[in-house]
Structure 1
Amino acid sequence: MNTIHEQDGKTVVLLLSWRDIRSPKSGGAEIFTHEMLKRSQQGRFQFIHFSPQFEGMPEHEVIDGITYIRKGNIYSVIYYAMRYYRRHRGKIDYVINQANTHQFFTRFWVEASKRIFFIHQLTREIWFENAKFPLNVIGFHMEPLMLKLARKDRTLTVSPSTRYDLLKLGFHPDRVHLLPEGIEFDHWPREQFLTKEPNPTFMYAGRFVKYKGIDLVVEAFGQLKEKFPQAMLWIAGKTDKTYVAEQLLPIMKRYGLTYGEPDEQGRSQADITFYGFVSAEHKLELMSRAHALVFPSLREGWGLTITEAAAVGTPSIVSNSPGLVDATDFGKSGYLCFHGDIRGLSEQMERAAKGGEDYMAIRERAYQYALRFHFDHTAAAFEQLMEDWVEEAEQSGQSGHSLLHVQQ
């Protein structure tokens, strides 16, 4: 394990998570954490991120000024994190326990004055979508009990929906703080929005996971094709061929939908085009050309792709699910339908396909709402909270540690 040398003037923050920005299954939560930390005052703070080791990843590296340490698997990492903390306890000021189904149970091994709990979303119903019996039942009933271990800690989250879920579990309102969601690129000026496709075009962008609702998108799109036979659906994200064969292919066959991949010019005549993994730039291009993003997920911390699409001139059609309602300002800046309501989802797609003043008004409200969110704002909010907590600790005589510099 790396050795630590003390330097003067900085507050040391150890962040524990089951994934980091380079993990194979990293997603929105990992992007959020990395962007927030790299934009925070690294002259004021030293951030050390501790997570499991994945094949091909170095045990130690520095990315954008953040020290990343990887050790163990998703289970043994808790032991290694405990050992690391105990070795350097006197020089670590704060420990952030980032929960994303997996957590580090810092209640049992970190002093209360140093503990910070960070969660994007609860899992709840997703247990029954992503896990089999009996794990789904065990997880569903154990989750509230495990979360309550942190109910007295300072807590960070990203949406009013998650905050409300935590308050229902007994977290104190004064100790649950909202960090604004963000995007990592500058919002496109309106004159840079790309021309919409000539035919009604919809897009899903994200992981191939059951609770995300890709099957609902395809089903609703099949119904839409009856009224808009020229409509097209683009799906961007690393294609899971097993998921496509088991979940999507039966739906596509039932509606007689054609599907395929784009040609060398990036075009396709199929009803549904699977783009696979795309670069961030290509994703934004596709988003701006589409008429609407469709994201009927069961539950999210926020729904980053919604804000990204709005920032390039495209509104979203979403379920009235936790997180997604926050990202669309409760339907003021997007199209809402009940989760699982295929007809309702298709009707909202039809509404977007018709365009007109209604569409343009929602598109503009989505853009205006997206202007509030950028990772610079996220970092500023996080810095302010940390500085407030450091000041409180110094006044109570619980702080004053120096920079930890991690070396090989």
Structure 2
Amino acid sequence: MTRKKRLLFLSWRDIHHPKKGGAELFTHEMLKRAVHAGYEIVHFSPMFDGAKEEERIDGVLYKREGSLTTVIHYARKYYRANTFDFVVDQCNTHRFLTKFWVPSNQRVFFIHQLTREIWFYNSKFPVNVIGYLLEPLLLKLNKNDLTMTVSNSTRENLLDLGFQRQKVKVLPEGLDFEPWSKEMFYEKEASPTFVYVGRMVPYKGIDDALKAFIEVKKNLPDAKLWIIGKPDMQYVQTVLGEISNQAHLTIGNANENKDVTLFGFVNEEEKLQYMSRAHALLFPSLREGWGLTISEAAVVGTPSIVYNTYGVKDAVDNGKAGYLVPKKDIKALSQTMLSIIRNPHEYEIKRQQAYDFSKRLHWNHTGNEFINFMRELS
């Protein structure tokens, strides 16, 4: 009987972590399909409050030990006490430095996106400068490793750092639900309505979305902006509130009729409904691995307006499946928002193109590509 191939997958967060995001979803969907294909997989990550030290989820064995700073020690100890065919180091700012303790023929590197300019939005001096300067140096440690990523943008970033073209594999993104048929689309709101879905962090560009919306309101007084996602009330008050107050915009919650509505966290069904009812999703992020929300909006009938930035441009097929505007160009962002209302024929064409491009995404494709990649290594 053929022995199952054993993979050790290292990451800073897992699918049950309270701060899980698209990377953790991608990883779990990929790994559970690999388990069904006959692989034995252990996912190793730090402990967090309320977590179990060990549990099996969809066939994947999740082990947790240590903190963000000590997890490398425990992962190395676990690796040496067990037998694995391959070790996958998932880099999401944090990395496990497997170059120094895993043989080259067992190493696989996995990265969704580089951080680069995000350091200057998420950290203060001198941490931001140190992080910015160290990132390419640390990445070059893995330049000879077999590597997986999720977009051509990130692949090109890696090639620029010296990674070998033939060793870098792009895995396709997936969706967590079946694309809707057109009959399932909700009617668009009577008023021009734009939606932002995501975390309230500076590099995601929610402040730029609000500034562009202010310009739109000067031409379309009945326009609305919906913001969906767990609210950071300090950010709302100090950043969004100040911008809104200067423009005399009103902000309220879901049961108030305001210019800007903060829905907070909503369930998946509600999120898709709001996205389907809006005219466009605003996604002015400075960098992403892909931008899964863009694809989700597309398959419920709503195209996205995005900045021409790494990862994000891949999710709109470089402007063929959505609207691409120059990075940090708020004027271009607002003009595009106006154009989709004023040019309904062009809007319907773009809406169809976004739908056709994104409905091809499925986690089964992701899993199959990962499985094929691993089989090639064997």
TM range (shorter): over 0.9
Q: Map 1:140-219 to 2 at 5 A.
A: 140-219=132-211
Q: How far apart, in 1, do the equivalents of 2:2 and 2:328 lie?
A: 55
Q: Which residue pairs with 1:63 in the alignment?
A: 57
For the 8 Å contact 1:294–1:317, the answer to whether it is kept is yes
Determine the C-alpha separation between the residues in 1 that align with 2:93 and 2:340. 35
Q: Structure 2 residue aligned with 1:24, among 18, 36, 48?
A: 18
The within-5 A match list for 1:244-259 is 244-259=236-251
1:43 Cα deviation from its structure 2 partner: 4.4
Shift of 1:120: 0.3
* 1:35 paired residue among 29, 35, 41: 29
Matched AA of 2:138: M
* Aligned pair partner of 1:310 in 293, 298, 305: 298
Tell me if structure 2 keeps the 8 A contact 1:259–1:272: yes
Q: Is 1:75 aligned to 2:69, yes or no?
A: yes
Partner of 2:325: 337
Please tell me whether the aligned partners of residues 10 and 43 of structure 1 are also in contact (alpha carbons under 8 angstroms). no
Q: CA RMSD in A?
A: 1.1
1:292 lines up with 2:280 in the alignment: yes
The percentage of counterpart residues that share the same residue type is 52
For 2:37 and 2:156, locate their aligned partners in 1 and report how far apart those are by CA, in whole Å: 34
* 1:208-247 pair list within 5 angstroms: 208-247=200-239
Partner of 1:107: 99
1:336 deviates by: 1.1
The CA distance in 1 between the partners of 2:343 and 2:69, in whole Å, is 50
Alpha-carbon displacement from aligned partner over 1:5-60 (angstroms, at most 9, x marks no partner): xx963111111000111112111111110111122343410111111110011111
CA apart distance, 1:373: 1.1
1:96 to 67, 85, 88: 88
CA distance in 2, matches of 1:310, 1:189: 12
> What is the TM-score with the length of structure 1 in the denominator?
0.91
- Residue 213 of structure 1: CA displacement? 0.4
Q: After the TM superposition, list the runs of 4 or more consecutive aligned residues in structure 1 that deviate by more than 3 angstroms.
A: none
* Residue ranges of structure 2 left out of the alignment (5+ in a row): none
1:229-263 Cα deviation digits (max 9, x unpaired): 11111111100001111211111001111111112
Unmatched tracts of structure 1, length 5 or more: 1-6, 391-408
Distance in 2 between residues matched to 1:213 and 1:152, nearest whole Å = 34
- One-letter identity of the residue aligned with 2:222: Q
Are residues 1:389 and 2:352 paired? no
Displacement after TM superposition at 1:75 (Å): 1.0
Q: Distance in 1 between matches of 2:341 and 2:246?
A: 22
In structure 2, the residue corresponding to 1:78 is in which secondary structure? helix
1:41–1:383 Cα contact (<8 Å) kept: no
Tell me the number of residue pairs that the alignment of Structure 1 and Structure 2 aligns: 378
**In structure 2, what is the Cα distance between the partners aligned to 1:9 and 1:355?**
60
Task: Provide TM-score, normalisation by structure 2.
Answer: 0.98
Q: What is the CA-CA distance between 1:273 and the residue it aligns to?
A: 0.7
Corresponding residue of 1:117: 109
Residue 344 (structure 2) aligns with = 356
Q: Which residue, 240, 252, 259 being the options, matches 1:260? A: 252
Deviations 1:181-214 (A, max 9, x none): 1111110011111111111111111111110000
